[in-house]
């Protein structure tokens, strides 16, 4: 069994949100190494220093936006998966997200377990790309 921890970068300019996500994921510390930053610039610095399996980022942030981060990650770190968080669940946003190369997105406000499931879905927690709804599998 692979005991390697997965490195996850959480990026949001709301410190209380990154703190609560980090706190929520702390019970998974045997499986996950979580790093939280509160700006896109800091995220770019972290990405250049360390390999992350997954980045969870807000889309709208001052300075470097989540979409710019996504673009940078896909160009420079193609193995890093990306989940975008957005408070703007409009149809235009959905269309924009469809055109980008991210693995998933989640609309704020969300239940923590919803995000946690999405994280494990993206990093593949031992399963082979387990999806949330596998009721139609036998």
**The CATH number of 6-123 is which of 3.40.50.2300, 3.40.50.300, 2.40.33.10, 3.30.200.20?**
3.40.50.2300
Residue 46, token pair as written in the block: 């972290």
User: How does pLDDT run across 99-123, given as a tens digit for each residue?
Assistant: 888 888 899 999 999 999 999 999 9
Q: What is the pLDDT of residue 100?
A: 83
Q: Is residue 129 over pLDDT 60?
A: no
Q: What is the pLDDT of residue 16?
A: 96
CB atoms within 10 A of CB 133: 6
The label of the residue with tokens 């923590």 reads 112
Average pLDDT of the residues of the chain: 86
Nearest CA to 10 out of 115, 109, 114 is that of: 115
Q: What is the pLDDT of residue 130?
A: 34
Q: What is the pLDDT of residue 134?
A: 33
Q: Once rounded to an integer, what is the mean pLDDT over residues 7-15?
A: 97
CB of 55 closer than 8 Å to CB of 82: yes
User: How does pLDDT run across 32-80, given as a tens digit for each residue?
Assistant: 999 999 999 999 999 999 999 999 999 999 999 999 999 999 999 999 9
Q: What is the pLDDT of residue 125?
A: 65
Phi, psi (degrees; rounded to nearest 5) at 101 = -95, 55
What residue spans define the domains of the chain? 6-123
């Amino acid at each position: 069994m692979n005991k390697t921890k997965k490195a996850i970068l959480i990026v949001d300019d709301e410190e209380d949100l990154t703190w609560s996500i980090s706190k929520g994921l702390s019970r998974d510390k045997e499986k996950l190494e979580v790093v939280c930053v509160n700006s896109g610039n800091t995220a770019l610095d972290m990405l250049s220093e360390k390999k992350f399996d997954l980045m969870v980022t807000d889309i709208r942030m001052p300075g470097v936006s989540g979409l710019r981060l996504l673009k940078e990650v896909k160009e420079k770190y193609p193995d890093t998966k990306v989940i975008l968080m957005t408070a703007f669940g409009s149809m235009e946003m959905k269309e924009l997200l469809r055109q980008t190369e991210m693995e998933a997105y989640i609309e704020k406000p969300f239940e923590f377990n919803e995000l946690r499931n999405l994280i494990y879905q993206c990093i593949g927690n031992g399963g082979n790309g387990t999806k949330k709804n596998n009721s139609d599998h036998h």
